[in-house]
Amino acid sequence: MSLSTRDEVRARLRPFGIVFEKSLTDLIKGIRAHKEPESQTKFLQNVLSECRVEVKSSDLDLKTMAILKLTYLEMYGFDMSWANFNILEVMASSKFQQKRVGYLAAIQSFQNDSDILILVTNLFKKDLNSAKSVEVGLALSGIASIVTPSLARDLIDDIIKMLNHSKPYVRKKAVLCLYKIFLKYPEALSSSFERLFDKFNDTDNSVVSAVVTVVCELAKKNPKNYIPLAPQLYNLLKTSTNHWMLIRLFKLFSSLAQIEPRLKTKLLPPILDLIKTTKASSIMYEGIMCIIKGNMLDDSNSQVAQFLVSKLHFFFDQNISANNDFAFKDPNLIFVGLLALNQISTIFPNLILAHQKNILLCLDHYDLSIREQALNLIDCIINEENIIAIVGSLVCQLIPRPPSVEDENQGLEPQYLQRTSLINLPNNYKVQIVNKILTSCIKDNYSNIPDFEWFTTVLNDLISIVVNSDFGSFVGVELGATFRDIVIKIPSLREEILNNYIVKIIFNRQIIGKLPNCLNDLIWCLGEYSDLNDDNEKIIKRLIEFYNPFLLSNDSDDDSSDTLQQVKSHLFIFERIFEVLIQSIVKNFSSFCNKGSNKEYWDSKQRESILRLLDIILNYLNELSTCNFYEIQERSTEFGEFLKLIKEAIEEHPQQASEPPLLLSSVLPSLFNSYDLIPIARGSQQRIETPDSLQLDKEIDLTDLPLGQGFQDSFGTDDYLRYMESGDSDYDFDSDIEEDDNDEEEEGGGKSSNYYENNMENQWEKTVEGVVMETPHDIERRRKERLEKQKYNPYYISDNGDKNGFFGSQSPQRSLAGSPVPAKEEFAPIYAIPNKSRKIKKPVIILTEETIPGTRNVLSKTSSLNLKKNKKKPNRNLKLMIDSSALDNFDISKPKENDDENEIEIERIRQELQKTALEERTIAKAKKKKTLKKALKSKDTDNGKLDASGNNEAVSAKKKVKKVRRVKKKTEDNGNASNAVEVKRKRPAKKATIAE
């Protein structure tokens, strides 16, 4: 049987359901049968090979089936762009079923093929003008899916014609198709604006709804273009009963009201009436969101806000059973209700307290999205009376789910144990819980905290939970910063927090390995308030023991310790920790030498204990001075050299003396305890104005540079310049030093290293001698100079109440004298629900944050904590996402920026072309006449005299022309057609004669 006969037989049998090719159903069954990856890949390759052969067939049914299978395989990632021309053939079929398959394949395959789109334009025009409405709708759907700027420019007129089609089905599809065209070709919006919005008066509601939908989407990009449509839209809002259209109108008015505030008074009554009378939750929710997003709700509309909050009970009451638990019938209603509450909370946060019960129940919902929305509302409902219960419930959610409900080692109440075991919460949600606990507790300078002992216990428990979790690195900084904030702001709790909490956390090896980012602030507190520590010597030794310099090394081959492996992954964090650790050790050493009885007497025992401790610290600093981090090297070297001076002073100090050396008892404490630190608001330093006299671009002139006091005391400016010119590092400055009492009173500095090494002993004697020989007049003079400098120094706080300084308030003393320390009591577990009887709040003095007046615009913070905020996820450039950026700044009322210039340019080019064509025609005529004259003249010149026969021929030609004219005239008179034909036959003789 030949190939043509075989195809004919198949074509005759196909209408009866007898086919011999694999259909789409066979393909799907084959994919499901080949479950192994290798066999499935082989099967798909065979199917693709068959499809490549089938699409080349002349049988259109077979080709259509092949295209349908390729369309299905495209979802598996197989490219089908090679069959675009075959798809075009199927689209051109006269059968609707085949045409529909072709359009489906074109929607998936014609996205980036510009060549095929050029060919398909005429096919779209043909189908748009089809008499069958289904084919017109199919063409409109295809255009909306694969439209490009060039395709939109070519088809916009044909689509606008479809707005007047007799079938509502086509009109509706044409309206929706225009939206996709506007996205690609915004200029079409100006030309079709009136034609499109005339459809508001269409007799079919589906067409009107489609127009409202398109306008709603367009108004999201540039609402001011559609303000003139407000009257028509308002009439639709009052008369329409279609829920979908009302929802779209709500969304549209929320965009328009932001541009036109006068719409508020007109829109509020009908919207509130719809919210009050409707039973549909969708209309109620969209109406509430329209009022909020349209800026129709402000401080003057408190009654409207109360009405909206009361209506939101509808979303929760239907889902709560009699035992105050969710029936979980429709979690979508609960979610949208929480969304509306979150929107209202930004304007009226006090009204959210009416939904406290619903919000707390939502915190235990099985749906994580509902929990997150409820968690955002905690700040609005939390207060001094319920904070303990709410925080306890949130902390329970951080505890990992136990292996069995019967686990008795958890120490939790049964109801919390049941809630904890419902679902496994992700780490990002647990991070939100910790941040929400901290922000709620520190809100308004700890105004919601009934008992700070309870709060410190919560912080300690949070660290214990977090250290064993996977999300500790995200909240460790916030926990440490909260401890630091409490210690700074509440003087009465400093000693208790330092000795009962911070010391235990710092010397916990598990925290050092797993949660090191919380240690930086804690170690700083341990050094800044070292005079409150119980045993400074023990703390110094434990710090040196636990924070060995080996933690900063990454070259060890001993990987047996799990803690060491964890530390190596936090090298950057430990670099910052050791920077603070060095200062903390020196501060504790200063407090150890000058605390209590150590300051009252000096004997050999005290001397030996200080020297032993000094040797331990110096050895530790010596090891740190060789680490790989520059900042640690610098700090350890500086403090190490200073402590060596103290050691030399102690060794040279008389053993029979009753007082310690002044360098130990006066100079060392003055480095840390000269001024009391008080909390400063974030951004205060940025408010300081830059002095006008500060010229950062001006070059520094050494001859006019006022050197530091150390240089002036040692050798002066002229000596320094001579030293720089000589280039001799051993330059002797001793001969140039003036023996002046004022110079001896200042500390020396700025000398070369050789000078220090050769004259260290002499300088030490001068320094001690200068301190001892100070007079009261010199002390008063130095004090005034110091206060004058501090007045304009943002890093120090004035303690004399000077109004001319940056701070007018008197700085509170850091000492705890006069501040009663609360007695140590056993802390109640935070997980227990408190009794209804309100606990009496203990009076605690909380320092407020100081601010610096200034003109710079700096965002104010309510706390010095730097709590992380959830970062918005970047928008992903998905393939199916609609790009509407072309409509962002498009204005219908204004022409395109270059339209006038383009029209002028086109008109100029048109005139130039006309002028050029006229000139070309004139030149061509002139050339033609000139050529004819020249030809006749040259012929006469070349032939000379014409012979008689030539003259006779010319005469005969003239006679023939006259004869033709007579015949033509006679023909016109008589109307004889035959004579007219004869004249026409003789016309070439006339032309030939003229040519001659």
Where is average pLDDT lowest: 8-12, 106-110, 395-399, 819-823? Answer: 819-823
pLDDT score, position 269: 92
Question: Among 680, 675, 683, which residue's Cα sits nearest to residue 489?
Answer: 680
Query: Has residue 831 got a pLDDT over 60?
Result: no
Contact 109, 74 (CB under 8 A): yes
pLDDT score, position 330: 79
pLDDT score, position 208: 93
pLDDT score, position 178: 93
Tokens of 389: 């219960």
pLDDT score, position 425: 87
Higher-pLDDT residue of 795 and 662 is: 662
Average pLDDT, the chain: 75
Q: Provide Rg for the chain, Cα atoms.
A: 47
Residue 21 lies in a domain: yes
Where is average pLDDT lowest: 579-583, 697-701, 858-862, 988-992? Answer: 988-992
Query: Has residue 166 got a pLDDT over 70?
Result: yes
Give 544's pLDDT tier (boundaries 50, 70, 90).
very high
pLDDT score, position 604: 82
Query: Has residue 410 got a pLDDT over 60?
Result: no
Residues 6+ apart with CB under 8 A from 539: 503, 526, 530, 533, 588
Give 481's pLDDT tier (boundaries 50, 70, 90).
very high
Give 743's pLDDT tier (boundaries 50, 70, 90).
very low
Where is average pLDDT lowest: 153-157, 544-548, 815-819? Answer: 815-819
> Cα–Cα distance between 232 and 372 in angstroms, integer?
40
Contact 379, 439 (CB under 8 A): yes
Q: What is the DSSP string of 496-563?
A: HHIIIIIHHHHT-HHHHHH-GGGHHHHHHHHHHTGGG-S-HHHHHHHHHHHS-GGGG---------HH
Residue 43 lies in a domain: yes
Give 359's pLDDT tier (boundaries 50, 70, 90).
very high
> Cα–Cα distance between 403 and 811 in angstroms, integer?
54
> Cα–Cα distance between 693 and 616 in angstroms, integer?
48
pLDDT score, position 80: 87
Amino acid residing at 568:
K
Higher-pLDDT residue of 699 and 374 is: 374
pTM of the model: 0.67
Per-residue burial over 222-258, b = 16 or more CB atoms within 10 Å of its CB, e = otherwise: bbebbeebbebbbebbeebeeeebbbbbbbbbbbbbb
Higher-pLDDT residue of 223 and 761 is: 223
Rounded average pLDDT over 361-371: 89
Per-residue burial over 478-505, b = 16 or more CB atoms within 10 Å of its CB, e = otherwise: bbbbbbbbbbbbbbbbbbbbbbbbbbeb
DSSP-assigned beta bridge partners for residue 680: 850
Give the best-scoring range by mean pLDDT among 636-650, 746-760, 833-847, 974-988: 636-650
Query: Each residue of 608-652: pLDDT tens digit?
Result: 899 999 999 999 999 999 888 889 999 999 999 999 999 999 988
Query: Has residue 418 got a pLDDT over 80?
Result: no
Query: Each residue of 372-409: pLDDT tens digit?
Result: 999 999 999 999 999 999 999 999 899 876 554 444 44
Amino acid residing at 55:
V
Q: How many CB atoms lie within 10 A of CB 864?
A: 16
> Cα–Cα distance between 181 and 134 in angstroms, integer?
21
Give the best-scoring range by mean pLDDT among 449-458, 601-610, 934-943: 449-458
pLDDT score, position 582: 94
Rounded average pLDDT over 706-726: 45
Query: Each residue of 40-71: pLDDT tens digit?
Result: 989 999 999 999 998 888 888 889 999 999 99
> Cα–Cα distance between 461 and 455 in angstroms, integer?
10
pLDDT score, position 713: 43
Tokens of 837: 């009887």
Query: Has residue 752 got a pLDDT over 60?
Result: no
Per-residue burial over 174-183, b = 16 or more CB atoms within 10 Å of its CB, e = otherwise: bbbbbbbbbb
pLDDT score, position 207: 93
pLDDT score, position 917: 81
pLDDT score, position 507: 93
Task: Give me the domain span that covers residue 60.
Answer: 1-110
DSSP-assigned beta bridge partners for residue 850: 680
Tokens of 186: 């915004």
Tokens of 973: 């008179």
Entry field: residues in the chain: 996
pLDDT score, position 646: 92
Higher-pLDDT residue of 910 and 470 is: 470
> Cα–Cα distance between 142 and 116 in angstroms, integer?
14
Q: How many CB atoms lie within 10 A of CB 798?
A: 20
Residues 6+ apart with CB under 8 A from 18: none
> Cα–Cα distance between 706 and 698 in angstroms, integer?
15
Contact 867, 482 (CB under 8 A): no
Tokens of 300: 């003057």
Tokens of 681: 């608001």
Q: CB-based burial of residue 101 (10 Å sphere; 0-12 exposed, 13-18 middle, 19+ buried)?
A: buried
Query: Has residue 416 got a pLDDT over 50?
Result: no
Contact 335, 362 (CB under 8 A): no
Rounded average pLDDT over 110-128: 83
Helix axes 387-398, 427-441, angle to 10 degrees: 160
pLDDT score, position 635: 93
pLDDT score, position 574: 87
pLDDT score, position 941: 55
Higher-pLDDT residue of 513 and 731 is: 513
pLDDT score, position 377: 94
Where is average pLDDT lowest: 246-260, 496-510, 542-556, 758-772? Answer: 758-772
> Cα–Cα distance between 460 and 500 in angstroms, integer?
10
Give 837's pLDDT tier (boundaries 50, 70, 90).
very low
Question: Among 28, 26, 19, 138, which residue's Cα sits nearest to residue 72?
Answer: 28
Residue 71 lies in a domain: yes
What spatial distance separates the first Cα and last Cα of the chain, rounded to whole Å? 72
Rounded average pLDDT over 989-996: 35
pLDDT score, position 370: 92
Residue 90 lies in a domain: yes
Residue 865 lies in a domain: no
How many structural domains compose the chain? 1
Query: Has residue 690 got a pLDDT over 80?
Result: no
pLDDT score, position 731: 44
Query: Has residue 708 got a pLDDT over 50?
Result: no
pLDDT score, position 552: 73
**Residue 296 is inside which H or E element, if any?**
none
Q: What percent of the chain has pLDDT over 90?
A: 33
Give 141's pLDDT tier (boundaries 50, 70, 90).
very high
For residue 197, CA distances in Å to 160, 245, 252, 442, 881 come to 12, 15, 15, 54, 26
> Cα–Cα distance between 406 and 633 in angstroms, integer?
54
> Cα–Cα distance between 516 and 573 in angstroms, integer?
7
> Cα–Cα distance between 170 and 161 in angstroms, integer?
11
Residue 477 lies in a domain: no
**Residue 445 is inside which H or E element, if any?**
none
E strands present in 600-749: none
Q: CB-based burial of residue 993 (10 Å sphere; 0-12 exposed, 13-18 middle, 19+ buried)?
A: middle
Residue 79 lies in a domain: yes
pLDDT score, position 249: 93
pLDDT score, position 835: 45
pLDDT score, position 879: 47
Query: Has residue 749 got a pLDDT over 70?
Result: no
Rounded average pLDDT over 752-761: 40
pLDDT score, position 569: 66
Higher-pLDDT residue of 125 and 939 is: 125
Give 930's pLDDT tier (boundaries 50, 70, 90).
confident
CA atoms within 13 A on the CB side of 357: 11
Three-class SS of residue 80? Answer: coil
pLDDT score, position 514: 87
Give 736's pLDDT tier (boundaries 50, 70, 90).
very low
Query: Has residue 871 got a pLDDT over 50?
Result: no
